[in-house]
Structure formats: structure tokens, C-alpha cells
Amino acid sequence: MSERQPIDRRAQVIRAFTLLGGVYFFLYFILPETAAESLGIKARHEAISNGFIVIGAMAVGLGLFNLVSAHGSRIAFARKGWAYSLALLVGLFSMLAVTAAQWRQSLGITAEARKAQIVGEFAQRIVQDAESHAAAPALAVRAAALRAYADGLLDQIGATLLVGPPAETPLGIELRAAAASLRGSLPRLEAVPGESLSPEGKGALTDVGRAGELLSAALGAFLRQESSSTMVQQLYTLLYEGLFNQLGSAMFALLGVYIAAAAFRAFRIRTVESALMMAAALIVMLGQISLGQLISDELPAMRQWLLEVPNSAAFRAIRLGASVAALMLAIRMWLSIESGSFSSRKR
């Protein structure tokens, strides 16, 4: 009698979730909008999609963990190539640290701009509450609170930001103008009566709201300009623009050199097919450079025809075949036929 295999619960859970996830997206894609609405799926789709995106984003964390684990152990046990692993981890952690610092700085700027944004939102809220007769403190009290808040904010901006050379830059001048506009609109809040909202009061609140929005935009732009000279931003620029971008571009640029060497060896006329391929390659290349037009005005048109007709036909056939294969693979994954790696059991 053969020995009974224990049930692999972990693999079963993963297979069940894979199947359910597949069923959900399949149904959502093929069901008419009205059916999705009546089943209550439509209202929850955004939250469900976000859930899947969050799970997908976790792969980044897993990748990071794997990277640190694999290269960390190589450094710890001084295995062959440990110096490369060290360079990788130093690069990883410096980039992480600088990016996190830059992100924090960016959040700080947003929080500052948000202070001005509150002016606009508060003014808008007062109007909305008055029009819908919502339970709220008296209009005059709220208008006075709005004015006090805006005055305090403007004093703070004037004392901390609108001083020194940065205040004379184009964005500094714009910020000063936006601040002056809000300051100018504030006395009109005195026209807001204590009881119901008059047209003058509504106009004053709307103007203050608009001025607050303008100030918020100008403040954000000014602070972002100021932050570009901070050490964190300069470090980020050095690492990303100075190193990462240049190294990545250099890696890709090497392809051009390899293609040139390969073209010299590979594009040789041996058969009729290879002669056809070479002729097509020459026409396509000549058709997209100015030299081609010097040789013949017809070359760009010939290139266009080659790409639109024979190329499209061949690529459609390739795509069709690949898509059928992808569909089969997707069905196998959906039904967990290709799920050997889910299992905790060693094969």
C-alpha cells in the first residue's frame, strides 16, 4: 500500500486565492457595467484593485529583503566577489537614505503650502455651510477666525520667507504679489454679517478663497525652488542624475557599438532570403536619415511601405501566436497547474 501524502495547506490557500482573483477580474472584465453595478462589484472595485496593487507592491519589499540577504551573506563570509556585493549594498542604502530624506523634505513643503490652502478651503466651507444652513458657529465668528488665521499666516510668510535675496527672485516676487492680494481681500470679510449670508459677504469669502488658493500655489513653487539648493537635493541630484542616469545610459549605449560589430559580420548575402533581409534593412535605415532623401525622394515612402505592409503582417502573425501561448499559460497559472513553486514540499 502506498504511503499517503500529507495535505499541503499552504499551497491550497495560495491556489484558492489565485483562482478567486482570476475569477474576479475575469468576471469584471466581461460583465456589462449594469450587471457589475447590480451585483455591487462596481462600488467596491476601486478598493479591491487597490488591494491587489498593494500586494503587488509588496514584491518590491521582498526583492529588497532577498537582495540584502544574498549579498549580505556574501560579505559576511567574505565569499568570492564580496567587494561587488559591498558596492551594491552601499549604493542601495545611500540611495534609499537620500531618497527618503528628499521625500521628507517634499512632504514638509507640501505641509507648508497646505497651511495656505486651508484659507481657501475654510472660506469655501463657510459659504457651503451658510447656504445649506448647517449647524455651525455664527458667520461673523467664523469670518473673524478666518481673518485671524490668514493674518497670522501672512505675518509668518512675511517674516520668514519674504526676506533676503530669495524674495527678489521671480517666484519670490510672485509669492509677494499673492500674499499682498490675500492681505488686500481680508478687510472685506468685515462685510460678512452675523446671521444669513449676503451677496457681498459671499463675494468677499469667494475672493478670499481664490486669493488663498493662489497663495498656496505660489508658496509651493517658491519653497520647491528654495529646496533645490539644500544638501539633500544636491546629494539626490548627484546620485540620480550624476551617477545612476549616466551609468544606465552608458550601459545602453554599448548596444549601439555591439550592433555595429554584429552588422559587419551578420548581414552577409548567402541566400536569397538574406539578400532580401539586408535590402529591407538598408531601405529602412536610409529612409529615416537625411542621406536617404539625398539618394532618392522615394526612400522614406519605401520605408513606410515596408513597415506598414510586410512588417505589420509578420508582426501580427507573431503577436497572434504569442498571445495564444500567453492565454494558455495564463489559464494554467489561474488553475494552478504551473504552481510547483507554491508548494512547501520538496520535489
Partner 1 sequence: MRRLIYLAMILAVAVPLLLGASRSPSRLVSAERMYDVVDTLDAKPGEVALVWLDFGPGTLAENEPQAQVLLEHLFRRRIPVVLLSQYQQAEAALQRIPKEVAERLEAELPGERWSYGDAWVNGGFRPGQSIFIQALVNAPDVSKFLGRDVNGMPITHYPRFAAIGGVEHVKLVGEVTGLVGVFDNIIQFFQKGGYRPTVVHGCTSITIPEAYIFLDSGQLKGLLEGIAGAAWYSEVLKRHYPKSDNSRLLAVNTALSSAHVVLIGLIILGNVVALWQRARRRDG
| Residues in contact with partner 1 by the rule CB under 8 A | 25, 28-29, 33, 42, 45-46, 49-50, 52-53, 56-57, 60, 106-107, 109-110, 113-114, 117, 213, 216-217, 220-221, 224, 240-241, 244-249, 251-253, 256-257, 259-261, 263-265, 267-269, 278, 281-282, 285-293, 300, 304, 307-308, 311-312, 315-316, 319
Shortest Å, Cβ 232 to partner 1: 15
d(CA 188, CA 84): 67
Q: Exposure pattern of 297-319 as b/e (b: 16+ CB <10 Å)?
A: eebbebbeebbeeeeeeeeeeee
> What minimum distance in Å lies between the beta carbon of 54 and partner 1?
8
Helices marked H in the chain: 9-30, 33-38, 41-76, 82-131, 139-160, 170-185, 199-227, 231-236, 245-266, 272-287, 290-295, 299-306, 312-334
The secondary structure of 13-32 as a DSSP string is: HHHHHHHHHHHHHHHHHHS-
CB of 143 to partner 1, least distance (A): 23
Nearer to partner 1, 74 or 292 (CB): 292
**Residue whose CB is less far from partner 1, 154 or 171:** 171
Smallest distance from the beta carbon of 126 to partner 1, in angstroms?
18
The residue among 113 and 154 lying less far from partner 1, judged by its C-beta, is: 113
Neighbour-count burial of 172, counting CB atoms closer than 10 A to its CB (0-12 exposed, 13-18 middle, 19+ buried): buried
* Distance of closest approach, residue 82 Cβ to partner 1, in angstroms: 27
How far from the centroid of its chain's Cα atoms is residue 331's Cα? 30
Q: Is 172 left (phi over 0), alpha (psi -120 to 50) or beta?
A: alpha
User: Taking a C-beta distance cutoff of 8 angstroms, is the pair 257, 263 a contact?
Assistant: no
Minimum CB distance to partner 1 smaller for 154 or for 236: 236
Nearer to partner 1 by Cβ, of 116 and 186: the residue is 116
Q: CB of residue 213 vs partner 1: minimum separation in angstroms? A: 7
Question: Measured from the CB atom, is 74 or 185 closer to partner 1?
Answer: 185
